[in-house]
Amino acid sequence: MRGLPNFYHSYTFFFFFLLILFPAYSISANTLSASESLTISSNNTIVSPGNVFELGFFKPGLDSRWYLGIWYKAISKRTYVWVANRDTPLSSSIGTLKISDSNLVVLDQSDTPVWSTNLTGGDVRSPLVAELLDNGNFVLRDSKNSAPDGVLWQSFDFPTDTLLPEMKLGWDAKTGFNRFIRSWKSPDDPSSGDFSFKLETEGFPEIFLWNRESRMYRSGPWNGIRFSGVPEMQPFEYMVFNFTTSKEEVTYSFRITKSDVYSRLSISSSGLLQRFTWIETAQNWNQFWYAPKDQCDEYKECGVYGYCDSNTSPVCNCIKGFKPRNPQVWGLRDGSDGCVRKTLLSCGGGDGFVRLKKMKLPDTTTASVDRGIGVKECEQKCLRDCNCTAFANTDIRGSGSGCVTWTGELFDIRNYAKGGQDLYVRLAATDLEDKRNRSAKIIGSSIGVSVLLLLSFIIFFLWKRKQKRSILIETPIVDHQLRSRDLLMNEVVISSRRHISRENNTDDLELPLMEFEEVAMATNNFSNANKLGQGGFGIVYKGKLLDGQEMAVKRLSKTSVQGTDEFKNEVKLIARLQHINLVRLLACCVDAGEKMLIYEYLENLSLDSHLFG
């Protein structure tokens, strides 16, 4: 029995030695207590409860610098979403994360802090604990209070280059933070880069992409459904967008409603803003959306009172009632000088407004907002202010509501094929009237009854001749889309006989119709980056559907002489000629003046590039 105490002393010493040598084994799955630590040498990490995210030390590429960061654990491809000491890396593989003096700190090999949460609040009586949540948020809180008011610090208030679901971008009155994301310096260097994406809270809030001190791209203001400058931003069954404007906060965020869907918004080291969605079957991130995507996304591309339209050549156009400020430079396709008024505003009366449809609203940082009035009251408010140059609704839902007005010059405007909203620009009375129509009225009033009768006979004769032409010519424009769709739905079904092994089989080839919005989204609004080629018929774009299928879109020019009958015959012919050695026709699209053919996408360019180089 005398040897028993010595045995207990030896056992206690051995157990204490293990705790000192291997501290990682005492760390809980998703928390770090005040008595625990994370070290680089032990390679220990903290994992969120649902195994979605993981926190630990890492070194990117072949670099010898070490960082504390968070990455996805639930997916196979290592993707970092947050870095603590991005601008103060550890120079060696000796580093520790622990709770010290009511703060999270990262210590180097000399126990010198290289990063800290820098909390300077009052005394904290209860022990603190650091916890990694399933949404990717790393929080420091009271160990006895897991409610939001018990959180003393959170990583969501200090984003790096990634905006995660439930993370907010923008200003918070309680904390005083204006949260924004900033690019890595390079793909292997997480230090602060040149590009940032920030929410501007002045005027009518909107988000800007910056290159250091220069603005590159603007999202446009929130119009109740999406940002005015992002027509592709549509609500999905698994993704909900939210924009909050109040005295407490001005923030943008998004939320994922399905637990098995992973999506993130990030800014690359080259300044490209991108939304990615993880595709499990492909084991890769799919680029769901990006900006800037074309010339018209460049900030102030067409100067003041000019608007950009990627479907026109040149892309810069003056608003009605305005003319190029510098015609010579404008003729060289440089619209940065913008436009000037043809007639000055009178202010005393007679001014009116021209309605521009499907527009990205002008820069709203100096605009005024009144959410309590509608479009009619907004028009009267603008007319009463001699400095008011334009107005629009703040919310486009329903019949529209709210009022935003501009004073001074308008700039960074663009037009979309689909999306955007109405903008009302103030013009002098003389610029509102069509001079040609006014002259025609004067001439018409001077013509006698006999001449009118003669004209009536001529018109009747011409109408009889044109009656034999295609029914689409005499159909009202508003019915054109419906009739075109009906013709295609009823007649682009081809019956053909194929003789195979001396047996007759009759196959009905049905060619599906695609919605214009689906084609526009697949081609990133027919961006120049997706352009494959161009000919007398129009332009061919590369597209990608939400399920990842690639396609080639032949968009017939609006100036093409090809009518609906010719288009229908071409569809029938191509559908009959389906062959293993021919490009397969997948679908077609008819929408008002738009006519498009959708083929399967094949690599290796076109035949003429191989024949003629």
What is the reported pLDDT for 12? Answer: 43
d(CA 462, CA 448): 21
Mean pLDDT of the region 204-208: 97
pLDDT value of residue 365? 95
Lowest mean pLDDT among 269-273, 322-326, 443-447, 590-594: 443-447
Q: Is the pLDDT of residue 472 over 60?
A: no
Confidence label for 331 from pLDDT (cuts 50, 70 and 90): confident
User: 27-158: which CATH architecture?
Assistant: Orthogonal Prism (2.90)
What the block records as the tokens of 177 is: 């933070």
What pLDDT band is residue 482 in, cutting at 50, 70 and 90? Answer: very low
Lowest mean pLDDT of 20-34, 413-427, 475-489, name the range: 475-489
- pLDDT at site 561: 60
Q: Return mean pLDDT, the chain.
A: 84
- How many Å apart are CA 553 and CA 86, to the nearest integer? 43
pLDDT band (50, 70, 90) for residue 24: very low
User: Which pLDDT score, from 0 to 100, does residue 17 have?
Assistant: 43
The residue with greater pLDDT, 576 or 597, is 597
Q: What are the pLDDT digits (tens) for 105-132?
A: 999 999 999 999 999 865 566 789 999 9
Distance between CA atoms of residues 317 and 305, nearest Å: 9
The four Cα atoms 354, 358, 359, 360 give a dihedral, to 10 degrees, of 160
CA–CA separation, 554 and 383 (whole Å): 45
Q: How far is residue 404's CA from residue 30's CA, in Å, rounded to a whole number?
A: 47
What's the full length of the chain, in residues? 613
Range 490-612 has CATH code 3.40.1280.10: no
Distances (CA, A) of 123 to 103, 126, 140, 431: 12, 9, 15, 69
How would you classify the pairing of strands 413-415 and 306-308?
parallel
Judged against a pLDDT cut of 70, whether residue 606 lies above it is answered with no
pLDDT band at 71 (very low <50, low <70, confident <90, very high): very high
Domain boundaries, the chain: 27-158, 296-432, 435-468, 490-612
Higher per-residue confidence, 568 vs 466:
568
Q: What is the spatial distance between Cα 404 and Cα 397, in angstroms, rounded to a whole number?
A: 15
CA pair distance 464, 375, nearest whole angstrom: 44
pLDDT for 285 equals 97
- Is-cis flag, bond preceding 159, omega within 30? no
pLDDT value, residue 124: 63
Cα 501 from chain centre: 54
Q: Rounded mean pLDDT of 502-516?
A: 59
| Extended beta strands in 230-351, E state | 239-245, 249-256, 263-267, 273-279, 284-291, 306-308, 316-318, 322-324, 339-341
Side by side, which strands form the sheet with 96-100?
37-39, 96-100, 103-107, 113-116
The residue ranges of DSSP E strands in 41-188, in sequence order, are: 46-47, 53-58, 67-72, 80-83, 96-100, 103-107, 113-116, 128-132, 138-142, 151-154, 162-163, 169-172, 178-179, 181-186
Pick the range with the lowest mean pLDDT from 166-180, 222-236, 573-587: 573-587
Under DSSP, the state recorded for 185 is E
Q: Which residues pair with 186 in a beta bridge?
A: 189
CA distances from 389 to 63, 345, 379, 427 (A): 55, 9, 11, 8
Residue 26 is predicted with a pLDDT of 39
**Of 73-82, 176-185, 429-438, which range is least confident?**
429-438
> Could you give the CA distance from residue 452 to residue 441 in angstroms, rounded to a whole number?
13
Q: Is pLDDT at 400 greater than 80 in this prediction?
A: yes
554 assigned ligand-binding residue:
yes
Average pLDDT of the segment spanning 547-559: 83
Looking at residue 437, its pLDDT comes to: 53
Q: What percent of the chain has pLDDT over 70?
A: 81
Between CA 59 and CA 411 the distance in angstroms is: 44
Residue 586 parent element (H or E): strand 585-591
- Residue 547 is predicted with a pLDDT of 81
Q: What is the pLDDT, as a whole number, of residue 63?
A: 80
What average pLDDT does this structure show over 333-361? 92
Sequence-separated (6 or more) residues with CB below 8 Å from residue 12: none
- What is the per-residue pLDDT for 376? 95
Lowest mean pLDDT among 342-346, 441-445, 564-568, 576-580: 441-445
Distance of CA 417 to the CA centre of its chain: 16
Mean pLDDT over 206-210 rounds to 97
Count CB atoms within 10 A of the CB of residue 562: 14
Q: What CA–CA distance (Å, rounded) separates 37 from 356?
A: 61
pLDDT at 548: 81
The edge-to-edge listing of strands for the beta sheet with 138-142 is 31-33, 128-132, 138-142, 151-154
Report which listed range, 284-298, 428-442, 443-457, 534-548, is most confident. Answer: 284-298
3-state class (DSSP) for residue 355: strand
Q: Which of 13-27, 72-86, 448-462 has the lowest mean pLDDT?
A: 13-27
Identify each DSSP E strand in 393-545 by its residue range.
Answer: 403-407, 413-415, 421-427, 493-500, 503-510, 531-535, 538-544
